[in-house]
A and B are shown apart, each in its own frame.
Chain A
């Protein structure tokens, strides 16, 4: 039985396409992929700006998300932002919901979703390498909406 390792794959690819330069490039790409895969489990950053006194933290499952507007009588509690270079939209919005819930909000109105790109300089083994990362940011307002506040 033959065990295929990352080094084997790099060797095969290098031999197939030819040369040390290609080998370095393949190594760089694989290192960047590995870095992104590992970091995908954890990196969603978020921040909150309260604009009013909050209340008792709400359960995350009770936080509703909307992009078109808020109902009359909803009380604004603050701004919430979350972003990540690797996580999908679901995870980023989930983080926004958690932060809003902690403020006591039960409704989020998404104001903006945007992606910013940057080149990351890193070391792949002992060779410098460079890859592009796109950071998706979601910004919204957190609200408390109760039937009594209508």
Chain B
């Protein structure tokens, strides 16, 4: 029982995975966007009239080092800057880390 409690406490404190996001402003910040942020992978044509807002990156570790969590982090970061689209998204998968980068755009 004692061992199980310790394992639980250690797992709780250490966490099983994290997603950290980062940004570099290249335009002016907008009010946060609450809708669905679209994701355009690298090589896909950019939407017309897109206004560049920032460069964004998302890095997942442990159990969150996977596509869905890392892209969700990228979308959340973009939405907080008022972007409705992340373009030129590049996803790089490692064994214990995954990273995505993109350009945060306002298209409407």
Which A residues contact B (CB, under 8 angstroms)? 12-13, 15-18, 64-68, 88-90, 93, 110, 113-117, 132, 134, 136
Contact = CB atoms under 8 A, between A and B. Distances in A.
B26 A65 contact: yes
Most A CB contacts (10 A, CB to CB) among B24, B46, B50 go to B24
Contact of A117 (B3, B50, B92, B103): B92
Nearest to A116: B92
A88 B101 CA distance: 12
B26 A113 contact: no
Contact of A89 (B9, B55, B88): B55
24 contacts: A13-B10, A17-B3, A17-B6, A66-B52, A67-B55, A68-B103, A89-B24, A89-B55, A89-B56, A90-B22, A90-B24, A93-B55, A110-B55, A113-B90, A114-B92, A115-B94, A115-B97, A117-B92, A117-B97, A132-B94, A132-B96, A134-B94, A134-B99, A136-B57
Interface in B74-108: 88, 90, 92, 94-97, 99, 101, 103
B66 interface: no
B6 A67 contact: no
Given A89-B55, A136-B57, A17 B10 contact: yes
Interface string B3-45: 1001101100000000010111010000000000000000000
Contacts of B3: 16-18
A16 B10 contact: yes
Contacts of B101: 89, 113-115, 136
List 7 A-B pairs, minimum CB-CB distance, nearest first. Answer: A16-B6, A117-B94, A115-B92, A113-B101, A115-B99, A89-B22, A88-B22
A134 B92 contact: yes
Contacts of B6: 12, 15-17
* Prevailing SS type, chain B contact patch: strand
Contact of A113 (B52, B55, B94): B55
A12 B96 CA distance: 25
Contacts of B23: 89-90
Contacts of B97: 115, 117, 132, 134
A75 to B, nearest CB: 20
B80 to A, nearest CB: 15
Given A65-B55, A90-B24, 19 more contacts: A17-B6, A17-B7, A17-B10, A66-B52, A67-B88, A67-B103, A68-B103, A88-B57, A89-B22, A89-B55, A89-B56, A89-B101, A113-B90, A114-B92, A115-B92, A115-B97, A132-B97, A134-B59, A134-B99
